[in-house]
């Protein structure tokens, strides 16, 4: 099987970890024996016409069994380039964003398979509509976490590598502070109440994120909405506690893991659990086995089944 993957979730200096889950899925598919060509183009409106032309050249010059685009606008580029059969995985912002969301919902009926990174993307959330379910052509296809990269490590050693105080009180907000939907303001309020230092993602390189997670006493997911919630899976893979709003896969992932929390944000209610983790010598939870539910390998196997079913369908 030969697949073309198209994405505009391409890392740059401002977001060095952007789209790492797409690259992890590509790697897992390749290890499963699928021949995958990855076309990744930069973010920015000027890039879309260039991407359409580049994808058109690829699909005319080479034979692919199907094309799989990640993110709604990359899906439009693939569609306009004439890519067929076409699968698009929507990841969250492309569904919930005020401008991009309507474009994603217009794209969905034109696809051979509409995939959401979680079931949450097919429903409304925080007042934003979800994807339409297309009968016989909808699926939930997460990307998953790289459990070889994300694993429990010594908190002392992780802090030493990062130059952090070995006795510090650290909470990790693993997103960019500039993304309003991630609600950095909530994380900052909680850190203040819990008397902790708040570590923030956004500019952390993908290969260093495991150190930041292991260095933290707990990871905070304070978002208004999430398409999936990869940071929570990665934290659990390191046995690090997660406090999360009930977004994306958080209710399924965290619901009965002792030491984790999943409920609407309330700083007063969240603070006692955060303090308990901050006061502990090396707070850990039994999360790694749960994280295996959403590993890159298991999610790639799911994607491969969807590919085969699509290609075997009549007509």
* Radius of gyration, CA atoms only, the chain: 20
| pLDDT tens per residue, range 253-264 | 998 999 999 999
**Placement of tokens 């006061």 in the chain:** 279
DSSP 199-229: EE-SS--GGGHHHHHHHSSEEEE--S--SS-
Section 242-247 average pLDDT: 96
From 268, 236, 265, 267, select the one nearest 249 (Cα to Cα).
236
CA distance linking residue 115 with residue 16, whole number of Å: 25
Does 291 score more than 70 pLDDT?
yes
Q: What is the pLDDT of residue 170?
A: 98
Section 269-276 average pLDDT: 97
Contact call for residues 245 and 190 (beta carbons, < 8 A): no
Contact call for residues 214 and 254 (beta carbons, < 8 A): no
Does 17 score more than 80 pLDDT?
no
Q: How many helices (H) and strands (E) does the chain have?
A: 13, 11
Section 93-120 average pLDDT: 93
Q: What is the pLDDT of residue 282?
A: 85
Angle between the N-to-C axes of helices 296-312 and 20-31, in degrees from 0 to 180, rounded to the nearest 10: 70
Q: What is the pLDDT of residue 12?
A: 79
CA distance linking residue 38 with residue 42, whole number of Å: 13
Q: What is the pLDDT of residue 254?
A: 95
Mean per-residue pLDDT of the chain? 94
Q: What is the pLDDT of residue 204?
A: 85
CA torsion 103-108-110-111 (nearest 10°) is 130
**pTM of the predicted model as reported, rounded to 2 decimal places:** 0.86
CA 155 to chain centroid, in Å, comes to 24
From 85, 104, 272, select the one nearest 195 (Cα to Cα).
272
Does 305 score more than 90 pLDDT?
yes
Q: Which CATH number fits domain 155-293: 3.30.365.10, 3.40.50.2000, 3.40.50.360, 3.40.50.970?
A: 3.40.50.2000
Section 235-251 average pLDDT: 96
Q: What is the pLDDT of residue 16?
A: 81
Does 126 score more than 80 pLDDT?
no
CA distance linking residue 123 with residue 174, whole number of Å: 25
Residue 84 CA: distances (Å) to CA of 128, 274, 307: 30, 49, 12
Which CATH code is given to the segment(s) 2-144+295-312? 3.40.50.2000
3-state secondary structure of 242: strand
Query: Which two tokens mark 196?
Result: 């902790």
Does 69 score more than 80 pLDDT?
yes
Contact call for residues 123 and 130 (beta carbons, < 8 A): yes
CA distance linking residue 120 with residue 130, whole number of Å: 8
Section 73-85 average pLDDT: 98
From 299, 314, 310, 242, select the one nearest 116 (Cα to Cα).
299
Residue 181: how many other CB atoms lie within 10 Å: 16
| pLDDT tens per residue, range 20-63 | 899 999 999 999 999 999 999 998 999 999 999 999 999 999 99
3-state secondary structure of 39: strand
Contact call for residues 128 and 225 (beta carbons, < 8 A): yes
Q: What is the pLDDT of residue 79?
A: 98
Q: What is the pLDDT of residue 20?
A: 87
Q: What is the pLDDT of residue 315?
A: 64
Those residues whose C-beta lies under 8 Å from the C-beta of residue 263, and which sit 6 or more positions away, are 245, 246, 269
| pLDDT tens per residue, range 171-215 | 999 999 988 999 999 999 999 999 999 999 878 888 899 999 999
Does 93 score more than 90 pLDDT?
no
- Outline which parts of the chain fall under CATH 3.40.50.2000: 2-144+295-312, 155-293
CA distance linking residue 158 with residue 104, whole number of Å: 40
Average the pLDDT over each of 89-93, 203-207, 234-238 and give the range with the smallest value.
Answer: 203-207
């Amino acid at each position: 099987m030969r697949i073309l993957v198209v994405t505009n979730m391409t890392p740059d200096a401002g977001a060095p970890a952007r789209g790492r889950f797409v690259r992890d899925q590509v790697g897992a598919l390749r290890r499963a024996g699928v021949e995958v060509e990855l076309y990744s183009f930069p973010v920015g409106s000027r890039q879309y016409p260039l991407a359409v032309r580049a994808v058109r050249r690829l699909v005319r010059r080479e034979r692919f069994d199907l094309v799989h685009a990640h993110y709604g606008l990359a899906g439009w580029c693939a569609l306009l380039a004439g890519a067929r059969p076409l699968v698009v995985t929507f990841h969250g912002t492309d569904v919930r964003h005020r401008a991009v969301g309507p474009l994603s919902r217009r794209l969905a009926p034109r696809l051979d398979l509409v995939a959401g990174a979680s079931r949450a993307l097919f429903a409304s959330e925080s007042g934003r509509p979800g994807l339409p379910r297309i009968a016989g052509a909808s699926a939930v296809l997460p990307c998953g976490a790289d459990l070889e990269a994300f694993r429990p490590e010594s908190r002392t050693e992780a802090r030493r590598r990062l130059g952090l105080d070995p006795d510090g009180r650290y909470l990790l907000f693993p997103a960019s502070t500039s993304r309003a939907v991630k609600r950095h303001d909530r994380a900052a309020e909680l850190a203040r109440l819990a008397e902790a230092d708040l570590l923030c993602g956004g500019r952390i390189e993908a290969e260093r994120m495991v150190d930041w997670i292991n260095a933290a006493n707990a990871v905070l997911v304070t978002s208004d909405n999430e398409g999936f919630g990869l940071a929570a899976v990665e934290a659990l893979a390191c046995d690090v506690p997660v406090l999360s709003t009930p977004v994306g896969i958080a209710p399924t992932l965290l619901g009965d893991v002792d030491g984790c929390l999943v409920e609407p944000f309330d700083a007063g209610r969240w603070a006692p659990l955060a303090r308990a983790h901050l006061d502990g010598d090396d707070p850990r939870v039994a999360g790694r086995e749960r994280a295996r539910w959403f590993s890159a390998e298991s999610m790639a196997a799911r994607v491969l089944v969807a590919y085969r079913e699509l290609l075997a369908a009549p007509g």
